[in-house]
Chain A
Amino acid sequence: MAFGDSDIGVFFGDMGVVVSVGNDSTTGLLDSNDLTDAQAFPGAPVRVVDTQTIVTIATGSLPSIVRDGQITVDGTVMRVRDLRQERDGSLMYVYCVADK
């Protein structure tokens, strides 16, 4: 049996976290990676390590989500850095940063 859009909720339900924007709430997959920003100061001995936080949600599951808007991911208030649809458009990557 093929994996379809209707299975996304079940898939996220197994290992997802609660993601909410305003009064909208859904479940998404949380990934957090530290990446060295090698381009920050080329030639200088200064290393910058960015934390890249990505939440994968079903497209349309958070209707009020906007770039630069606030989002709560697994209880942590963050801010949306970018939104990108992936694959056939049924999944959306939400790039978040700490809301400082």
Chain B
Amino acid sequence: MIELVRIIAGAISNLATLNAAVAATPLDGTDTAPPAVVAVLNEADNNLTFREAESPAAPCIVIATKSAFVGHTTRFTGVQDWEGDVIVAYINVGAIEQKNRRDAMYTLRAVKHVLMNALFQGNGQATARTRNNVALMWITSMQYGMAEQNEFGGVMTGALALTCKTREINP
């Protein structure tokens, strides 16, 4: 769902805000801070092939749909509701897997913080949650903690998976 991807991308695309949150994320023990995010990409606008050999933008955040959106076939009172999954992915290149994994977890924690602030804090975020007659009503569940690095490669990937309920207005 293009609108939803762009709504979420818009909420976290301010790199100054995002990296301030990354820097402010509390670190456990002697962990060191993750590197600043250099790009926020999304499937509606970008070619999402990330090549380790090139890695011009790392670490970066990528927003993409993960599933088809499911909705009722019947419209009610001029709206139609949809539910589906979106991932907010973290991609980085680094030689030490354990450090990469920690960086992924801390950065995604900061992303979650910025995302919730931008979309749901207070009562004034309806505009941020609406685009082209599609509104993000709520995020019904979230998965945090997925991170993996190819056994022999240098790319770490991690993601927040968000199950979102949206409302299409005047479908």
Contact = CB atoms under 8 A, between A and B. Distances in A.
B93 interface: yes
B49 A47 contact: yes
Contact of B66 (A41, A79, A82): A41
B95 A34 contact: no
Nearest to B157: A40
B154 A51 contact: yes
Contact of A47 (B50, B87, B152, B159): B50
Contact of A79 (B96, B150, B151): B96
Given A46-B48, A46-B50, A99-B95, A52 B152 contact: yes
Interface bracket on B: 20 to 34
Nearest to B91: A48
Interface residues of A, number: 27
Interface string B122-158: 0000000000000000000000000010111111010
Interface in A45-100: 45-52, 54, 68, 78-79, 81-82, 95, 97-100
Interface of B: 43, 48-53, 55, 62, 64-67, 85, 87, 89, 91, 93-97, 148, 150-155, 157, 159
B89 A97 contact: no
B155 A50 contact: yes
A44 B68 CA distance: 10
Contacts of B43: 44-46
Contacts of A34: 51-53
A39 interface: yes
A43 interface: yes
A79 B53 contact: no
Contacts of A5: none
Contacts of B49: 47-49
Nearest to A50: B153
A72 to B, nearest CB: 14
A46 B61 CA distance: 11
A41 B157 contact: yes
Contacts of A79: 95-96
B64 A44 contact: yes
Given A34-B53, A43-B85, 9 more contacts: A35-B150, A37-B155, A39-B148, A45-B43, A46-B64, A48-B155, A51-B51, A79-B95, A98-B52
